[in-house]
Amino acid sequence: MSLFFVALAVEGVLLTVIAALVVLHRVLRVRRDRVGRLVEARTAAGLRAWLLEGQGAHAYIRALTDIPPHIALHRLATAMTEHIPLEHRDELVVLLRVEQWTAAIARQAASRFWWRRLAAARLLAFTADPSDRVRVRRLLDDPHPAVRTAATRCLPRVNDPELVALVLDRLPPLAPLVRAALTVTLRDLASHTVPALLARLTSAASSRELEAWINVAEVIGAPEAYPHLAALAGHEEAVVRLAVARALKRQFHSDASDVLATLLSDGDWRVRAQAARSLGALGAHEKTPALETALADSAWWVRFRASLALAQMGEPGRRVLKESRRASDRMARDMSSLVCGLSDGSIIELTEA
């Protein structure tokens, strides 16, 4: 047979196989969707019977057991996020922990494959208890970032100060946004996080570590952290001073505005801009003159943040802005005009963003 006919046959077979696969997948999907709708109806009925009619979670658990584990996990995660109130979760977890399919998924914490470890971490985020400490610790050390992130969600359930400290120590080298994601969990565990944090907020730590930990202190907003933050306001590294300036916006300590006013004359424009922003967030009226001076700062962002901070301070701040529209300094004039022209909604949005 000639080469042409061989090639023609190969292409014909390939096309037939692809078309058959598409059709087969479509048929299977239609069938799976039909079964899925029935399962969904059963799980929804089980959930309703449990949450609304007080009949216990057994019917819901049975419905989850009847579906493939990965789909059951997805359904469970969605229900936990969207439907099941906090006060009902422990009841469900007790029942789930004795189920074979959940035990099988939890065992995947030691799997060679990252997607299985991710499934284990996702499940343990809802079902873990202190006995899962070793598993959670292993997942926190996972090489895959998605698994590590999911594992931090297990911390509130394991409730172990040592694991919280471990997460804190792992934060500094991570990217800022990854840290922000992990900090959400640390905030929920403030009782463990704050003591560990205070022990770390010393000048002995590196600037990278301090930046990460000060950000955690900012999110938690614990008043106990104020003396540590104030002490770090004079740190030689600008990134640390910047983090302090940001964190102080949540510290309603009587001296916080004084520290921020000092930072408003920092050598780094980012620190000055952040100090202005935090003064606005604190509503520190007594620092209006310092902010007025900052309107003529050489950096655009400092002028912008100072003018927004003044706009946040109500009548006294607005008055300063209006007067600055006739100021001799052109940059102060332009920025005051910009902010005076903004609607209240825009000012709120811009100060928050």
Residues binding other proteins (CB under 8 A): 2-4, 7-8, 11, 14-15, 18-19, 21-22, 25-26, 29, 74, 77-78, 80-82, 115, 118, 122, 125, 145-146, 149-150, 153, 174-175, 177-178, 180-181, 183-184, 219, 300, 304, 334-335, 337-338, 341-343, 345-346, 348-350, 353
* Dihedral sign computed on CA atoms, order 60, 61, 64, 65: negative
Q: What is the dihedral of CA 39, 45, 49, 52, to 10 degrees?
A: 130
> From the CB of 335, what's the least distance to other proteins, in Å?
5
Q: Using CA of residue 175, residue 181, residue 182, residue 188, what is the dihedral sign?
A: positive
Q: How far is the CB of 352 from other proteins (least distance, A)?
A: 9
DSSP state of 172: T
Long-range contacts of 93-101 (CB under 8 A, 24+ apart): 93/126, 93/127, 93/129, 95/57, 95/58, 95/61, 96/61, 96/126, 96/127, 97/127, 97/129, 99/61, 99/64, 99/65, 101/64, 101/65, 101/69, 101/72
The residue (of 186 and 261) whose beta carbon lies closer to other proteins is: 186
- State the nearest-atom distance from the C-beta of 14 to other proteins, in Å: 5
Min dist CB 88 to other proteins, Å, is: 16
Which residue, 231 or 238, is less far from other proteins as judged by CB?
A: 238
Short-list 52, 43, 129, 113, CA closest to 78: 43
Question: Nearest CA to 222 among 186, 178, 276, 170?
Answer: 186
Residues 6 or more apart in contact with residue 9 via CB below 8 angstroms: none
Nearer residue to other proteins within complex by CB, 100 or 343: 343
Instruction: Rank residues 257 and 278 by Cβ distance to other proteins and give the closer one.
Output: 278
Question: What minimum distance in Å lies between the beta carbon of 325 and other proteins?
Answer: 9
Report in angstroms how near the CB of residue 187 gets to other proteins at its nearest. Answer: 9
Using only C-alpha atoms, what is the Rg of the chain? 28
Q: Which of 80, 198 has the CB closer to other proteins?
A: 80
Least distance to other proteins, CB of residue 295, Å: 11
**Identity of the residue, 44 or 338, whose beta carbon is nearer to other proteins in the bound complex:** 338
* CB closer to other proteins, 45 vs 77: 77
Q: What residue type is 243 in one-letter code?
A: A
